Amino acid sequence: MRQLIKNATVIDGRGSNAFKSDILINNQVITDISPFITTAVDHVIDADGAFVTPGFIDVHSHTDLATFLPQGFKPKIMQGITTELVGLCGLGVSPLPKELQAEHRKRLIIGNPPIDWGWDDFPSYTSALEQQGLEVNVSAFLPHGLLRYQICGNSSIPMNKNQRLKLAQLTDEALGAGARGVSLGLIYHPALFSDRDELLTVAQVAAKYQKPIVVHMRSESDQILEALQEMIVLSEQAGCQLHISHLKLIGQRNAGKLSSLLSLLERYQISFDQYPYHYGSTTLFSILPPALIRAYAPDELMKKLHTSTVRRQVHDWLSERVLPQASEPWDNLPALVGWENILICEVESQEAQKWVGISIAECAQQTDQHPVDFALDLLISEQGNVRMIDYFMDEALVEQIFQHPQGMVGSDTLLGGRLHPRVSGSFPRIINQFVTQRKLLSLEQAIRKMTALSAETFSLHKRGKLAPGYYADIAMFGADFCDHATIEQPERYATGLHNLWVNGQQKISQGKYLNTRSGQFLLAKNGNNGV
């Protein structure tokens, strides 16, 4: 089918100035971009001067299971996103042998909808997604945390040589089968137990395939520079590409580190992504120090949190009266941002719903407890399944990071329960807030961070630009393109997207959401020239 977009204000993704043009699409592919195209076509869409850009690429999304959920990728699609990268922060759903899945699913940070996992290895996961039908393009990283769990279970003991050989073999299999790179999440259990030799093993296999390691660092606060250095040394030793996930700097006391952080990223030409908010969202479990998680298996830890000895220890650590282990990096959120800046955003039980949307400081006041005791009691009663929102840094620093040319946009979408507004708002918020209102960058430069830069960094072949020969992943929006999601109303979709094409098929047509599933699973080819 031939489609013609007339009268477009084209922003092609490269960062260069917008220009007036028509765009011709033939089936899945853009075949011509020039003014006044007169070829006979099946369908004409008059842009009437609206912006036409490449479909946005979300380089950091935990939507590994979204295609199996009733709403699918809708919060993302309404933002103009046509490609999602999943399997990040070392977390994910594949590869994992069937016999380990039930236990793993109990503590799945990315959410655990009640669906049948019909897969075990990477190829069976990708075919499950394809069979379900994808609304957008999806590509997946290999989560290192899953491999560690498969090989060592919950053990905190460093891998021995045989285990590392197994790790290399599993990494090789998944990268050979088309995983986009390897993701590390070094604050999460059990990946936080991994030592240099273990990480070097996966990084070396990544280097062999010329694929990146994508890292949630061990520290995003007091020891962030050391944590970044650790990854720089690792990637240099292995000879692989390094990308830093959701770059941020937690805690007012660390604000002064930003310039050193950005200089390091510049010196080593390291790419990174960021979501455009000064508050984050993750499991409340991550307030616990690694020393404690190291000492007890997850089920045992839940029991230990009742005991007065462990409770006293946690009090001492969280208040920084005592440091758990000086050498071990740890984002001590309560000490860094304060209990008043940590909000409960998702719980499992009915009884606990009343705490949702309230800061832990306030909850504790209501129950007449110390915030530490309130938080631990909640973790116990919810069996660890509590998600929080934490205000981690000043907006001015978020803006400064956004202006850096090596940064791109990744929403860090976590689905299920009460969402973070970044799930439905990230991309239009960049345009509406960071470009139109605050004028931090030009629209063209901002679009580059959502499209071409992302595609180049992760070798998404023929994506991320509007050019002849490129896939017709295209967004069209007006000057009123705007996010509406807030902490209070996180599910509000963006508005102002007129049309969206995924591989040449319309997913949104004149503002109407269609039921098409024209996305593809994008396997990464070996040698870093993916399809």
Residues that bind Zn ion (CB under 5 A): 89, 216
Whichever of 410 and 428 has its CB closer to Zn ion, that residue is 410
Q: How far apart are CA 82 and CA 54, in angstroms?
A: 9
Whichever of 216 and 463 has its CB closer to Zn ion, that residue is 216
Q: Give the pair of three-digit tokens for residue 74.
A: 């809708």
Query: Nearest distance from residue 188's CB to Zn ion, in Å?
Result: 8
226: Cβ contacts below 8 Å, ≥ 6 apart: 219, 329
Query: Nearest distance from residue 186's CB to Zn ion, in Å?
Result: 9
- Amino acid identity of 394? D
Q: How far apart are CA 51 and CA 10, in angstroms?
A: 6
367: Cβ contacts below 8 Å, ≥ 6 apart: 374
DSSP string, 491-517: TPPPEEEEEEEETTEEEEETTEEP---
Query: Nearest distance from residue 283's CB to Zn ion, in Å?
Result: 11
Query: Nearest distance from residue 89's CB to Zn ion, in Å?
Result: 3
Whichever of 79 and 281 has its CB closer to Zn ion, that residue is 281
Q: Give the pair of three-digit tokens for residue 173.
A: 């299999």
Q: How far apart are CA 501 and CA 424, in angstroms?
A: 19
Query: Nearest distance from residue 114's CB to Zn ion, in Å?
Result: 24
Strand order in the sheet with 81-86: 56-58, 81-86, 137-140
Whichever of 139 and 411 has its CB closer to Zn ion, that residue is 411
Query: Nearest distance from residue 410's CB to Zn ion, in Å?
Result: 10
Backbone φ, ψ for residue 355 (5° rounding): -90, -10
Whichever of 22 and 222 has its CB closer to Zn ion, that residue is 222
Query: Nearest distance from residue 196's CB to Zn ion, in Å?
Result: 20
Whichever of 143 and 519 has its CB closer to Zn ion, that residue is 143
Whichever of 10 and 89 has its CB closer to Zn ion, that residue is 89
Query: Nearest distance from residue 282's CB to Zn ion, in Å?
Result: 7
Beta carbons of 83 and 58 less than 8 angstroms apart: yes
Residue with structure tokens 């962030």?
A: 224
Angle at 118 between CA 113 and CA 123, to 5 degrees: 115
Query: Nearest distance from residue 62's CB to Zn ion, in Å?
Result: 8
Whichever of 212 and 504 has its CB closer to Zn ion, that residue is 212
Query: Nearest distance from residue 109's CB to Zn ion, in Å?
Result: 9
What is the CB neighbour count within 10 angstroms for residue 68?
15
Whichever of 12 and 230 has its CB closer to Zn ion, that residue is 230
Q: How far apart are CA 361 and CA 356, in angstroms?
A: 13
Q: How far apart are CA 16 and CA 2, in angstroms?
A: 27
Q: How far apart are CA 32 and CA 24, in angstroms?
A: 5
Whichever of 89 and 179 has its CB closer to Zn ion, that residue is 89
Whichever of 89 and 497 has its CB closer to Zn ion, that residue is 89
Whichever of 216 and 422 has its CB closer to Zn ion, that residue is 216
In sequence order, the β-bridge partners of residue 149 are none
CA distances to 13, 52, 431, 443, 495 from 479, in Å:
17, 11, 9, 11, 11
The SS3 call for residue 408 is: strand
DSSP string, 110-157: T---S-----SSHHHHHHHHHHH--SSEEEE-EEHHHHHHHHHTT--S
Whichever of 104 and 216 has its CB closer to Zn ion, that residue is 216
Angle at 293 between CA 290 and CA 299, to 5 degrees: 160
Backbone φ, ψ for residue 306 (5° rounding): -75, -30
Query: Nearest distance from residue 468's CB to Zn ion, in Å?
Result: 37
Whichever of 140 and 452 has its CB closer to Zn ion, that residue is 140
Q: Are strands 505-509 and 495-502 parallel, antiparallel or unpaired?
A: antiparallel
Spatial CA neighbour of 254 closest among 229, 217, 225: 225
- Amino acid identity of 355? W
Beta carbons of 56 and 79 less than 8 angstroms apart: yes
Q: Are strands 19-26 and 2-10 parallel, antiparallel or unpaired?
A: antiparallel
Query: Nearest distance from residue 65's CB to Zn ion, in Å?
Result: 17
Query: Nearest distance from residue 245's CB to Zn ion, in Å?
Result: 5
